[in-house]
């Protein structure tokens, strides 16, 4: 059954074509993700699908099945004037949700016992008690505590969580979500991911969370050049099939270029008298020229910015603490940064991550301890609050206001225009006013202004919000090659795993765990600790400890667990490769050779990790 269908839908603003005559179907129980570059129309297409915007184009149509209850989560939700959190969360046409709302309201009206009696009867009649428990769980998971608070007084992130809670509680059949993980902390993201995996709902969403794409979605659609391309499978399937499509496009482009060269030679030799055949060839030449000229390769962000040299002393925190009233955010934190370190910071919203950054940059004085900056340390500080670009300035002028050029390696220089090109702002986009940029484009421009100052210590507070996957990939590549230090606060697990092999983890009440490893390894460690702390079942005999376990240091145990996790992942990859060999009929000789090489590499990696494990255990 098709729950959502778009036919011949277009959106064009002046000369800018977001999408043109596109078709889209979302079948029941399908979980679809829409991916595209910033500013290409993802959110606009979602608004059309949700019925917020009307479709354009001759014969266009947006259809939602009559039996599918639709819920839409925009990037910036809006609520009625004067609405409280309770009003917003319980604004539903779901009868059981309304019954719970009336019950909660009756509890506060002790002066009218009949209201409570009627509400109790309705809850019993509808068997809505499970729904009440579910609502409390959702509010707790999304850290929504004060249901009497006015929505207008909430931050943008809090409003997004209230809207998400309303959507989940409402239990719709079809959900359309625009960047659902923005403003959620890691615990919330993982809980939402599990909920989406476990339900049979139908989903269409925009997200740049690549773990989300990998684990939740079974279909991905790409909006590129005003057209839609369809891919079955999750994120890794999408990458594989997209690469195949682009290889095919490149081959076709080369043929078209050769044909165009031949046509061009003919046009130049053509006599002045133009018959029907000549006009036909001219028309074909024009079409071919437009096709070749309209083809654009995937733009890449290439940076070779020369960072300023760091001294022996970079950034040191000595026993710093910070509290607000009785709430302790940071307690006795100490650390000395070394050259080239890339450290991630994770924790719940409000745990104190930004407070720590403000203390490290000396924007905030600690209650105890001190922060020391090296004389050669120059910070580049990216914050959400810092994105205050002048709306009436052109993109090129924003950059030129900071500097006309920046130094590159080997004594070369890069102009402001050239740097913008490398940040995927072409010559036409450089003349656009800031007010015309999308949210992701503004963040990309703001990040460029940070790098223009040529820092050697980057502090990035949630840099991935609203950035598209292409930009995320190239930003990651740049940060991996960045010669200075990088300190990152992020809720993007993929981004953290790729960049930060060392974490500061806010665990509550001011405690910050210094974790030497990946974020996913930390989550696995938490599961292990939870299992170890659980009371043993009566039938289970206590496990005997490994002979050398008690002699191992904490760091050695961490290293052993990390290697064991790496071996497990390699074994899973080996199993996947062997399964592919079972279907020989579907394999080409080239694919068999590729799989064979990959299997040999995996086996070699397993042997290396097993040797590393034995060395660690034997220490």
DSSP character at residue 19: E
The separation between CA 465 and the C-alpha centre of its own chain, rounded to angstroms, equals: 7
**For residue 387, what pLDDT is reported?**
80
Which of 22, 58, 27, 59 lies closest to 41, judged by CA?
A: 22
**Angstrom distance (rounded) from CA 570 to CA 562:** 13
In the predicted structure, residue 298 carries a pLDDT above the cut 50: no
Terminal alpha carbon distance of the chain: 61
Sign of CA dihedral 161, 166, 171, 177: negative
In the predicted structure, residue 540 carries a pLDDT above the cut 70: no
Q: Find the mean pLDDT for residues 511-523.
A: 92
Q: Which residue did the predictor score with more confidence, 309 or 327?
A: 327
pLDDT in tens, 54-72: 888 888 899 999 989 999 9
CB 486 within 8 Å of CB 458: yes
For 335, 357, 382, the CA distances from 349, given in Å and listed in that order, are 22, 14, 18
**For residue 46, what pLDDT is reported?**
94
CB 208 within 8 Å of CB 468: yes
Hunting for tokens 């997004």 — which residue is that? 160
**Angstrom distance (rounded) from CA 192 to CA 205:** 13
**For residue 544, what pLDDT is reported?**
42
pLDDT in tens, 107-138: 877 777 788 888 888 888 888 888 888 888 99
Helix axes 95-107, 129-141, angle to 10 degrees: 80
pLDDT in tens, 359-401: 999 999 999 999 999 999 999 999 877 788 889 999 999 988 8
For 174, 467, 471, 479, 490, the CA distances from 182, given in Å and listed in that order, are 20, 11, 16, 22, 10
* CATH ID of 315-520, from 3.40.50.300, 3.40.50.970, 3.40.50.2300, 3.40.190.10: 3.40.50.300
In the predicted structure, residue 226 carries a pLDDT above the cut 90: no
CB 321 within 8 Å of CB 332: yes
Averaged pLDDT score across all residues of the chain? 83
**For residue 310, what pLDDT is reported?**
86
Who contacts 612 (Cβ-Cβ below 8 Å, separation ≥6)?
Answer: 563
In the predicted structure, residue 175 carries a pLDDT above the cut 90: yes
**Angstrom distance (rounded) from CA 479 to CA 469:** 15
Q: Find the mean pLDDT for residues 171-194.
A: 92
Q: Which residue did the predictor score with more confidence, 413 or 194?
A: 194
**For residue 342, what pLDDT is reported?**
94
pLDDT in tens, 17-36: 888 889 999 999 999 999 99
Q: Any idea what the Cα angle at residue 538 is, between residues 534 and 540, rounded to 5°?
A: 80
**For residue 300, what pLDDT is reported?**
45
Q: Is 374 exposed, middle or buried (0-12, 13-18, 19+ CB in 10 A)?
A: middle
Hunting for tokens 């690549």 — which residue is that? 210
Which of 405, 411, 353 lies closest to 383, judged by CA?
A: 353
**pLDDT band at residue 299, thresholds of 50, 70 and 90?**
very low
**For residue 240, what pLDDT is reported?**
86
C-beta neighbour count of 94 within 10 angstroms: 17
Span 2-238: which CATH code? 3.40.50.300
Which of 475, 466, 429 lies closest to 448, judged by CA?
A: 475
Q: Please give the share of the chain, as a percent, with pLDDT higher than 90.
A: 36
* Among 129-133, 284-288, 487-491, the least confident range: 284-288
C-beta neighbour count of 376 within 10 angstroms: 14
**Dihedral through CA 507, CA 512, CA 513, CA 515, nearest 10?**
110
Strand partners, 251: none
**Dihedral through CA 128, CA 132, CA 133, CA 134, nearest 10?**
90
In the predicted structure, residue 402 carries a pLDDT above the cut 60: yes
In DSSP notation, 82-117 reads: T-BHHHHHT--S-HHHHHHHHHHHHHT-TT-HHHHH
**For residue 535, what pLDDT is reported?**
64
The separation between CA 290 and the C-alpha centre of its own chain, rounded to angstroms, equals: 35
**Angstrom distance (rounded) from CA 512 to CA 245:** 46
**Angstrom distance (rounded) from CA 351 to CA 185:** 10
In the predicted structure, residue 511 carries a pLDDT above the cut 50: yes
**For residue 302, what pLDDT is reported?**
47
DSSP character at residue 150: B
Among 213-222, 377-386, 418-427, the range with the most confident prediction by mean pLDDT is 213-222
CB 294 within 8 Å of CB 225: yes
In the predicted structure, residue 417 carries a pLDDT above the cut 90: no
pLDDT in tens, 557-613: 667 777 877 887 888 887 777 677 656 556 665 676 576 668 768 777 887 787 777
DSSP H helices, 423-513, are 439-452, 469-481, 493-499
For 157, 159, 384, 491, the CA distances from 183, given in Å and listed in that order, are 5, 10, 11, 8
Which of 209, 255, 284, 283 lies closest to 33, judged by CA?
A: 209
Hunting for tokens 């369809």 — which residue is that? 230
**For residue 202, what pLDDT is reported?**
94
Q: Which residue did the predictor score with more confidence, 357 or 539?
A: 357
Hunting for tokens 């009696």 — which residue is that? 117
For 23, 106, 153, the CA distances from 82, given in Å and listed in that order, are 40, 20, 10
């Amino acid at each position: 059954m098709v729950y959502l269908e778009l036919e011949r839908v277009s959106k064009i603003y002046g000369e800018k074509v977001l999408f043109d005559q596109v078709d889209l179907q979302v079948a029941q129980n399908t979980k679809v993700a829409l991916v595209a570059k910033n500013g290409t129309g993802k959110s606009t297409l979602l608004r059309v699908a949700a019925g917020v915007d009307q479709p354009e184009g001759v014969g266009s149509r947006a259809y939602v099945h009559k039996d599918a209850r639709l819920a839409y989560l925009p990037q910036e939700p809006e609520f009625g004037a004067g609405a409280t959190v309770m009003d917003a969360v319980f604004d539903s046409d779901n009868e059981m949700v309304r019954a719970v709302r009336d019950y909660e309201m009756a509890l506060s009206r002790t002066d009218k016992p009949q209201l409570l009696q009627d509400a109790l009867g309705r809850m019993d009649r509808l068997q809505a008690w499970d729904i009440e428990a579910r609502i409390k769980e959702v509010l707790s998971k999304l850290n929504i505590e004060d249901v009497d608070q006015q929505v207008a007084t909430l931050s943008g992130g809090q409003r997004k969580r209230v809207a998400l809670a309303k959507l989940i509680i409402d239990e719709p059949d079809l959900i359309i979500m625009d960047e659902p993980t923005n403003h959620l902390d890691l615990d919330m993201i993982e809980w939402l991911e599990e909920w989406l995996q476990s339900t049979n709902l139908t989903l269409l969403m925009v997200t740049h969370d690549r773990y989300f794409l990998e684990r939740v979605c079974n279909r991905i659609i790409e909006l590129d050049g005003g057209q839609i391309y369809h891919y079955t499978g999750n994120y890794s399937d999408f990458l594989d099939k997209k690469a195949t499509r682009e290889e095919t496009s490149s081959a076709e482009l080369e043929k078209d270029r050769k044909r165009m060269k031949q046509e061009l030679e003919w046009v130049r030799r053509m006599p002045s008298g133009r018959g029907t055949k000549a006009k036909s060839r001219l028309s074909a030449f024009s079409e071919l020229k437009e096709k070749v000229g309209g083809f654009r390769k995937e733009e890449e962000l290439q940076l070779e910015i020369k960072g300023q040299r760091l001294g022996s002393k970079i950034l040191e925190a000595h026993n710093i603490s910070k509290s607000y009233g009785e709430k302790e955010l940071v307690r006795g934190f100490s650390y000395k940064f070394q050259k080239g370190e890339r450290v991630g910071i994770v924790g719940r919203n409000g745990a104190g991550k930004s407070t720590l950054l403000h203390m490290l940059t000396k924007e905030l004085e600690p209650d105890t301890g001190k922060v020391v900056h090296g004389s050669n340390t120059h910070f580049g500080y990216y914050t959400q609050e810092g994105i205050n670009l002048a709306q009436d300035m052109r993109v090129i002028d924003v950059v030129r206001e900071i500097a006309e050029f920046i130094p590159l390696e080997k004594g070369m220089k890069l102009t402001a225009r050239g740097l913008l090109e490398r940040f995927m702002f072409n010559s036409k986009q450089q003349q656009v006013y800031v007010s015309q940029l999308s949210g992701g484009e503004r963040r990309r421009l703001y990040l460029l202004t940070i790098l223009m100052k040529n820092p050697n210590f980057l502090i990035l507070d949630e840099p991935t919000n609203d950035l598209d996957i292409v930009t995320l990939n190239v930003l990651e590549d740049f940060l991996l090659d960045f010669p200075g230090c990088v300190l990152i606060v992020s809720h993007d697990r993929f981004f953290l795993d790729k960049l930060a092999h060392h974490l500061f983890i806010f665990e509550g009440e001011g405690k910050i765990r210094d974790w030497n490893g990946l974020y996913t390894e930390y989550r696995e460690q938490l599961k292990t600790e939870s299992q170890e702390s659980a009371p043993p079942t009566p039938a289970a005999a206590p496990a005997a400890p490994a002979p050398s376990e008690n002699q191992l240091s904490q760091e050695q145990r961490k290293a052993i667990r990390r290697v064991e996790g790496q071996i497990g992942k390699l074994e899973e990859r080996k199993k996947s490769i062997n399964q592919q060999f079972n279907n020989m009929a579907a394999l080409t000789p080239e694919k068999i050779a590729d799989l064979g090489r990959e299997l040999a590499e995996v086996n070699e990696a397993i042997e290396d990790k097993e040797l590393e494990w034995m060395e660690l255990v034997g220490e």
